[in-house]
Structure 1
Amino acid sequence: MRTPISTEQAPAAIGPYSQAVVYGDFVYTSGQIPLRPDGTLETGDIEAQTAQVFANLKAVLEAAGSGMDKVIKVTVFLKDMLLFARMNEVYARTFSEPYPARSTVEVARLPRDVAIEIEVVAHR
């Protein structure tokens, strides 16, 4: 059974999707961009944008009964791979060993022309 997750502690879905879906013992989040829960964008550097994305993901995971410590897979979408090292500094502060599996890809464009979007899969 799929259970949609919604929390006011993260930006509302702006389309026909859920912030996350719980299926069995796993939480699948939608991609989060550096949009604050009040709908304003974090327009600072990649470090600030990445921190906002992780804050959103943390809120969604907690609403689903999980947490950042239970993330098993991360997918990072970057507007420019030259931002990877700086994004990775924030990533390294967010997770501890054993680190989740991760894929990082450069994309041509992201919603609202942000520099980063991240989605995760976590255990509950």
Structure 2
Amino acid sequence: MSEKTAITPAGHATPPAAFSHGVRKGNILQVAGQVGFLPAVAGRPPAVAGPTLREQTLQTLENVRAVLEAGGAGWDDVMMLRVYLTDTGHFAEMNEIYDAYFAGQGLKAAPAARTTVYVGLPAGLLIEIDALAVLD
């Protein structure tokens, strides 16, 4: 049986608790919930990409992509994305941003996805996304 391997891409801060940005076991890669933090700068606290949903969504997607790539996967390997918003009023805007982002990714097939509202994100964060990938 294969071992679990923790995945932390370059540029990602060390998680604040005992969890990994991603974990791969065999051909399965689970990306932990990612948020819109800019790449880490040593000695500085995490910085949010910006105050808007667009800025945070695009950075969050890039953070998910970074974990996927560090784990040997890509967007076409993603089976499921889960999106957590802090405001029901952001659904339409997030869908537009999401559609535009993935239109440029050249996917063979879009992953399954779900979006829910979650009010427990730290102050200033508007979105969190996690992903499940299965590699060939």
The TM-score, its normalising length taken from structure 2, stands at 0.83
Give the distance between the partners of 2:20 and 2:4, measured in 1 at CA. Answer: 11
Report deviation, 1:97: 5.3
Greater CA radius of gyration, 1 or 2? 2
- Runs of 4 or more above 4 Å deviation: none
1:65-122 C-alpha deviation (Å, 9 max, x unpaired): 0012221101111001210111111211233452111111111221344110000011
Change (3 A) 1:8 1:65: same
Change (3 A) 1:58 1:115: same
Task: Check conservation: 2:76, 2:109, Cα contact below 8 A.
Answer: no
Provide the residue aligned with 2:117 in structure 1.
Answer: 106
Among 80, 89, 97, the residue aligned to 1:90: 97
Give the distance between the partners of 1:79 and 1:19, measured in 2 at CA. Answer: 21
Give the distance between the partners of 2:25 and 2:122, measured in 1 at CA. Answer: 26
Task: Check conservation: 1:81, 1:106, Cα contact below 8 A.
Answer: yes
Counterparts of residues 11-90 of structure 1 (less than 5 Å): 11-38=13-40, 39-90=46-97
Task: Confirm whether residue 8 of structure 1 aligns to residue 10 of structure 2.
Answer: yes
What count of residue pairs does the alignment treat as equivalent? 124
Alignment RMSD: 1.5
Report deviation, 1:11: 3.6
